Homo-oligomer: A and B are copies of this chain.
Amino acid sequence: MQRPIRIVVPFKLNNAKSRLAPALTPEGRRLLAFAMLRDVLDAVSGFGRLTVLSRPGLDAAKVGCDVEILESELDLNDALNSFIAGEASLGWPSDILIVMSDLALLTQSDVAGILSCPGDVVLCPGRGGGTNMILIRNPRFRTCYRGLSFPRHQEYARQSGLAASVFESFRAGSDIDRPEDMAEVLLHGRGRAKKTLESLGFILPQSGQAGCVRT
Interface residues of A (CB under 8 A from B): 125, 127-130, 146-148, 150-152, 168-174, 180, 183-184, 187-188, 204-205, 207-211
A interface SS class = loop
User: Please, how many angstroms separate the alpha-carbon atoms of A196 and B39 in the complex?
Assistant: 40
Q: Are B170 and A205 in contact (CB under 8 A)?
A: no
In the assembled complex, 25 residue pairs joining A and B whose CB atoms fall closer than 8 Å, in A order, are: A125-B188, A127-B174, A127-B184, A128-B183, A129-B183, A129-B184, A129-B210, A130-B210, A146-B208, A147-B208, A147-B209, A147-B210, A148-B183, A148-B187, A148-B204, A148-B208, A148-B209, A148-B210, A150-B187, A152-B208, A168-B169, A168-B171, A169-B169, A170-B170, A170-B173
Q: Are A207 and B147 in contact (CB under 8 A)?
A: yes
Contacts of A169 in B (CB 8 A): 168-170
Which chain B residue has the least Cβ–Cβ distance from A180? B128
Which one of B148, B150, B210 contacts A205 once the chains associate, using CB atoms below 8 Å?
A: B148
Instruction: Tell me how far the C-beta of A15 lies from the nearest C-beta in chain B, rounded to whole angstroms.
Output: 19
User: Please, how many angstroms separate the alpha-carbon atoms of A210 and B127 in the complex?
Assistant: 10
Which chain B residue has the least Cβ–Cβ distance from A170? B168
Contacts of A171 in B (CB 8 A): 168
Which chain B residue has the least Cβ–Cβ distance from A167? B170
Instruction: Tell me how far the C-beta of A37 lies from the nearest C-beta in chain B, rounded to whole angstroms.
Output: 22
Instruction: Tell me how far the C-beta of A181 lies from the nearest C-beta in chain B, rounded to whole angstroms.
Output: 8
Q: Are A147 and B205 in contact (CB under 8 A)?
A: yes
Q: Are B147 and A187 in contact (CB under 8 A)?
A: no
Instruction: Tell me how far the C-beta of A132 lies from the nearest C-beta in chain B, rounded to whole angstroms.
Output: 10
Contacts of A205 in B (CB 8 A): 147-148
Contacts of A129 in B (CB 8 A): 183-184, 187, 204, 210
User: Please, how many angstroms separate the alpha-carbon atoms of A152 and B188 in the complex?
Assistant: 13
Q: Are A170 and B204 in contact (CB under 8 A)?
A: no
